[in-house]
């Protein structure tokens, strides 16, 4: 897709597994009436399923009351929606790097923020069981619970992912005839998981040298500039004012002619005000000569070349290293 090789990091699956794992070790303790004397304890099973389908499975047996009493309490959860979160957007140019060999690195752009919404349903037979399970969950969400997740194994990417508790609902469900009525109490907790999706991995070479060339121009009006012009009709006059634009009063640049070589098409000017635009013709105010610019030569320029290399030059990604900076200057011509 989009000209890239296929990639798949099981991102949604990782998030679903991480969410379900949070609630896998909830234990229900049964006490004697009006005391804290423990009778029994057991782990509350959890599975991935929607509320309606799960209730149907619980109540599908003709002998409703017996299996319901045996299988409850239970929990189920499912992902209900997926939406882009513009409030967490970072620059599209942020990248993560991971060295894969001495001279090669993997590069991957910053993750794209998305919100996953989950619904956790707790099914119990009596009120006490439900309140005990809910009480083991609520204190950890204030209103969010943050866990650390691994997303892209090849890049060693880990992120802290908040899971926000957004609402808690309680509702009873009754099924069957008057003689066989089964009551199931359902607690529904809704969560929002602030996660990320990552794009393809690009492989490239380590950058071991950076060179920057800086051009410093002498922009004083007395400097001499040579314009190499296209061939055409008309000739400029010495001391004539030239300009670029619709007319002289509205021009962005003006200059005075020092010399004009009609054969070579070289126009030498001084007393420049503004900056020449190569895409606009140069017009003589007196002669009305108009020719386009091929190149601009500014003799009074200085070129600075800065070369930066790591110190030591054998430094790799993740190493502590400094820089060696070498500056080359070309004197004014």
Ramachandran sector of residue 70 (left: φ over 0; alpha: ψ -120 to 50; beta: rest): alpha
Those residues whose C-beta lies under 8 Å from the C-beta of residue 55, and which sit 6 or more positions away, are 123, 173, 175, 184, 186
Instruction: Give residue-wise pLDDT tens across range 67-125.
Output: 444 478 999 999 999 999 999 988 878 888 887 777 788 888 889 999 999 999 999 98
CA angle 216, 222, 223 (to 5 degrees): 40
Tell me the chain's radius of gyration from C-alpha atoms.
38
As a whole number, mean pLDDT of residues 171-184 equals: 65
Q: Are 236 and 287 in contact (CB under 8 A)?
A: yes
Q: What pTM was estimated for this model as a whole?
A: 0.62
The DSSP-derived string for 112-181 is EEEEEEEEEEEEESSHHHHHHHHHHHGGG-SSEEEEEEEEEGGGTEEEEEEEEEEEEEEEEEEES-SSS-
23-32: long-range pairs with CB below 8 Å, 24+: 23/75, 23/77, 23/120, 23/137, 26/75, 26/133, 26/136, 26/137, 27/136, 28/73, 28/129, 28/132, 28/133, 29/132
**How far is the C-alpha of 243 from the C-alpha of 262, rounded, in Å?**
18
Inform me whether the pLDDT recorded for 229 exceeds 80: yes
HSE value, Cβ hemisphere, 13 Å, CA-based, for 277: 11
Inform me whether the pLDDT recorded for 55 exceeds 80: no
Inform me whether the pLDDT recorded for 302 exceeds 70: no
The pLDDT assigned to 68 comes to 46
Mapping DSSP onto H, E and C, the string for 5-74 reads CCCCCCHHHHHHHHHHHHCCCCEEEEECCCCCCEEEEEECCEEECCHHHHHHHHHCCCCCHHHHHHHCCE
Ramachandran sector of residue 175 (left: φ over 0; alpha: ψ -120 to 50; beta: rest): beta
HSE value, Cβ hemisphere, 13 Å, CA-based, for 154: 16
Q: Are 309 and 323 in contact (CB under 8 A)?
A: yes
Instruction: Give residue-wise pLDDT tens across range 205-224.
Output: 777 888 887 655 555 556 78
In this structure, the number of other CB atoms found within 10 A of the CB of residue 299 comes to 12
Helix, strand, or coil (residue 184): strand
Instruction: Give residue-wise pLDDT tens across range 9-43.
Output: 999 999 999 999 999 999 999 888 777 888 888 89
Classify residue 156 by burial, with Cβ atoms within 10 Å: 0-12, 13-18, 19+: exposed
């Amino acid at each position: 897709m989009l000209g890239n090789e296929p990639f798949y990091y099981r991102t949604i699956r990782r998030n679903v597994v991480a969410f379900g794992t949070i609630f896998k070790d909830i234990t229900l303790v049964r006490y004697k009436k009006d005391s804290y004397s423990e009778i029994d304890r057991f782990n509350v099973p959890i599975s991935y399923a929607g509320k309606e389908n799960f209730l149907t499975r619980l109540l599908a047996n003709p002998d409703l009351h017996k299996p319901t009493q045996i299988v409850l309490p239970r929990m189920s959860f499912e992902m209900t929606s997926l939406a882009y979160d513009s409030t967490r957007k970072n620059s599209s140019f942020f990248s993560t790097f991971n060295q894969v060999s001495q001279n090669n690195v993997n590069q991957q752009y910053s993750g794209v923020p998305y919100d996953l919404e989950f619904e956790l349903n707790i099914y119990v037979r009596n009120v006490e069981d439900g309140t005990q399970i809910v009480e083991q969950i609520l204190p950890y969400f204030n209103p969010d619970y943050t866990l650390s997740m691994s997303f892209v194994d090849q890049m060693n990417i880990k992120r802290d992912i908040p899971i926000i508790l957004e609402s808690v609902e309680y509702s009873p469900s009754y099924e069957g005839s008057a003689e066989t009525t089964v009551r199931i109490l359902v607690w529904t907790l809704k969560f929002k998981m602030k996660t990320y999706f990552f794009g393809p991995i690009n492989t490239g070479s380590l950058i071991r040298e950076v060179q920057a060339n800086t051009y410093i121009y002498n922009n004083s009006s007395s400097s001499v500039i040579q314009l190499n012009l296209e061939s055409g009709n008309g000739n400029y006059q010495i001391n004539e004012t030239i300009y670029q634009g619709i007319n002289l009063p509205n021009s962005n640049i003006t200059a005075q002619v020092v010399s004009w070589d009609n054969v070579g098409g070289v126009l030498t000017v001084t007393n420049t005000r503004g900056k020449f635009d190569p895409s606009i013709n140069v017009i003589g105010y007196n002669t009305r000569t108009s020719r386009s610019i091929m190149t601009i030569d500014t003799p009074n320029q200085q070129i600075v070349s800065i070369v930066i290399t790591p110190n030591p030059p054998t430094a790799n990604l993740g190493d502590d290293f400094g820089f060696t900076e070498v500056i080359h200057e070309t004197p004014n011509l």
